[in-house]
Structure formats: C-alpha cells, structure tokens
Structure 1
Amino acid sequence: MRDDDPGVARLQRWQESGGRWRVLTRTTDTVVIALLTCDIGEEVDRLTGTGPALLAYLGNRDSSEDDITPAPPVRPGPATVVRDRDITGKARNSRPRDALGRPLEPGAPGVPTMPDDLNPAPADALQQAQKLLDDGLPFHAHEVLEAAWKSAPPAERELWRGLAQLAVGLTHARRGNTTGAARLLLRSADRIGPYAHSAPHSVAAAELTAWARTTARECQVNG
C-alpha cells in the first residue's frame, strides 16, 4: 500500500519504476534526495521533503541500496539463506525484473537481464543494442551500452555514455515517466552531439542527436 504522504508516495513510485535514490543532505526536519536512473545512477531530479512521514520512511537509510530494516542475526541451521554477492562482497540485486527493468516480487517470472561480466566489442555492442531496441527492450539495450561505456577508451567514453542514456530515456518513456525521459534524452544528445562529425564505429551521431532532442520535446509536450 502506498503512503499518503506526497514525498513518500513519490519516492515509492520512483523505486517501483526501477529508479534509484540517494540522500544528499539530511537535518532533523529536512531531507534532500537525488532521484537516479536505473543502473547508471544519473541524477534526473531531486526531492526535498520536510514532513515527518518521509523522514520516518527513510529511517537510517542513505540510499535505495540500503535495506529498509536491519537484517536479523544469522542463526545456524539448514534454513539459513545466504544473500547473493559478487566477488567484491557487494550484495547483488537478484530480484526478477520485467521487460522494462522494473523489479518484480521475489519468485515471479521475469525477463533475464544481461550478465554482470558483459564486455562486448564496440561493433557487437552496437548490433546487440540495436536488436534489443527493435525488440522493445530498451532497458536491456542500455545494459549492453553501459558495459561498452565502462570499457571504452577515454576518447569514446562520452559517446557510449550518451548512447546508454538514450536507451535509459527510452526506458523511462516506455514506463510513462515522460519527465525523466525528456531529461535523459536531452543529456544523451549533449553527449552524443560533439561526435557528430567524427563518430567512431560509424555511429550516426548527428542523426541520433537530432532524434533524441525531437523525442525529448515530444515527451515534454505530451507528458
């Protein structure tokens, strides 16, 4: 059940749509929260709240990655559940997700996401991302493009980051979050645009920049 407090309700909607958040500042009666995109963690908006309900909802949490309540002490026995963690010890988010990356209830049938160790070559990343976009899976396309961004040489990193943001913008548009979609699409255009005359890997940077800006305007008008 969603809380009646506007700040809590907005934060819950954001997280239910697959977004993340992080507390920026907190006092005894005010909190400022950055609303972040899924996975890339790009700040899209900020939520400032002064109500006690929002502060109580946050508790001691500093981000959406923190558990709502502290985990109980682990007791030995056959029923002990070990949380899935990566090689660094960081807990994985193993909840199933739908086709647009929104988390589902544990045990629900979901759409497989891309592997954590994905490291595609540029040509493969572009081809795979395009196919995923054609199949209506922009969230999965962004995972591929994000993997390419993380391994790209410095001169190409902003291009790949812009491509990943474009896919995230499309994801938010498909989820009905037109405000977040417009902001991400405009940011993607700002990053892809400088490559318009010399884009590596034959990326149609000029066309993508124009398309992202046009689509962002449509989101702003029709949102």
Structure 2
Amino acid sequence: MSTSREGDRDRDEEGRARNARPRDGLGRPLPHGAAGVERQPEGVVRTAAQSVAEAQALLDAGRPFHAHEVFEDAWKSGPESERGLWRALAQTAVGLTHAARGNATGGARLLRRGADGLVEWQGKGRGVAPAGLDTAGLVRWAQELAGEVERSAEAVDAAAVAPRLT
C-alpha cells in the first residue's frame, strides 16, 4: 500500500483514509517511525477453526485489537448465517481492547453489545457454533467483565482476563 500525506491523514491510491502509523499491542497509534507491533493483514479468508485458533492466540498474548481484526475478516468473508456471530465476537474483542486501554465506559458498552449479539445469534436457532465456539461461556465472560470494568474503572490486563473461545 502506498500512502501519501493529505493533511494529517494517510491515504491509499484511491484516496481512502488508511492509518499507516505503527501501533502498540492494544492498537493505539504510535508516532511515525516508532517501533510497533506487527499488524494483522486485512482481508484474509480463513476457515472458522483457523479464525478461532488465531484469535485465541492473539487474545492469550494480550492483543485483543488484533483478535478483533481476525474476527472482522471472518465476519466479512464467512457465510451469511455466521456473520452476526463473528461481528459479536469482534465487538467483544474491541470491548476488551477499550477495557485494557482504561476506557471503562466504552469497554463495558462494547462487551455488552457483543454479548447481546451472541445471544441474538443463538436465539435464531443457528444450532452449534462453528469451530467449537462456546457462545454461552463467552456471553457470561463478556457480561461479567463488563460489570467488573464498570465497578473498578481501572485498565484490565488483556491477557489475564482473555476469554477461552472454545
């Protein structure tokens, strides 16, 4: 991707905004030239099992922002019947990202939104989630963490509170 500076925004060849700045492990932009964490490639098509395995490794490493990108790829490339599931998982990962950054309000809100999305997906009679995903356990995890984040209003250790996806 080539970028040009237009004002203070990085743009691709079509003029779409693309932030080429390096990012830290929680996805926060760093100054140009700083050493950052390697970003997840965008638009990767994976099987459900590959998505779950990669996202779990990223969550375990305390990188929920990057796990969210894996879930987002699954959401955009997966079967229509699974899109709500992957979108909800992406929202929980972003919620964990915000909670780890110390944004209790945003973290709790997105954790609950993701949990609600998982409940909605389950309620549509979808049957068993792909790749052994434990949707009921993930709903409990997200709701409990949302409450803890609101009560403490302190940044969480993303790796320490990461969920088990299966």
- The equivalent position to 1:199 in structure 2, one of 125, 128, 145, is 128
Asked whether the 8 Å contact 2:95–2:107 carries over to 1, the reply is yes
Q: Secondary structure of the equivalent of 1:158?
A: helix
Asked whether the 8 Å contact 1:169–1:184 carries over to 2, the reply is yes
State the TM-score, normalized to the length of structure 1: 0.60
- The equivalent position to 1:180 in structure 2, one of 100, 106, 111, is 106
1:126 aligned partner:
52
2:91 aligned partner:
165
For 2:47 and 2:92, the matched residues in 1 are separated by: 19
Q: Secondary structure of the equivalent of 1:157?
A: helix
Aligned-residue offset at 1:67:
4.1
Q: Secondary structure of the equivalent of 2:82?
A: helix
Aligned-residue offset at 1:91:
3.8
- The equivalent position to 1:152 in structure 2, one of 69, 74, 78, is 78
Give the share of equivalent positions with the same residue, in percent.
49
Provide structure 2 residue ranges, at least 5 long, that are not aligned to the other structure: 1-5, 154-166
- The equivalent position to 1:97 in structure 2, one of 6, 23, 32, is 23
Q: Which has the larger radius of gyration?
A: 1
For 1:145 and 1:218, the matched residues in 2 are separated by: 24
For 2:128 and 2:98, the matched residues in 1 are separated by: 26
Q: Which amino acid aligns with 1:157?
A: R
For 2:17 and 2:99, the matched residues in 1 are separated by: 29
Figure out how many residues of one structure are paired with residues of the other and give that number: 144
- The equivalent position to 2:64 in structure 1, one of 95, 117, 138, is 138
2:164 aligned partner:
none
Aligned-residue offset at 1:116:
2.2
Structure with bigger RCO (C-alpha 8 Å, 6+ apart): 2
For 1:151 and 1:89, the matched residues in 2 are separated by: 24
Asked whether the 8 Å contact 1:165–1:185 carries over to 2, the reply is yes
Q: Which amino acid aligns with 1:199?
A: V
Within-5 A mapping of 1:31-110:
67=7, 85=12, 88-110=14-36
Provide structure 1 residue ranges, at least 5 long, that are not aligned to the other structure: 1-65, 72-82
Runs of 4+ in 1 over 6 A off after TM superposition: none
C-alpha change, 1:195 and 1:203, in structure 2 (3 Å) is: farther
Q: Which amino acid aligns with 1:204?
A: D
Aligned-residue offset at 1:84:
5.5
Q: Which has the higher helix share?
A: 2
Q: Which has the higher strand share?
A: 1
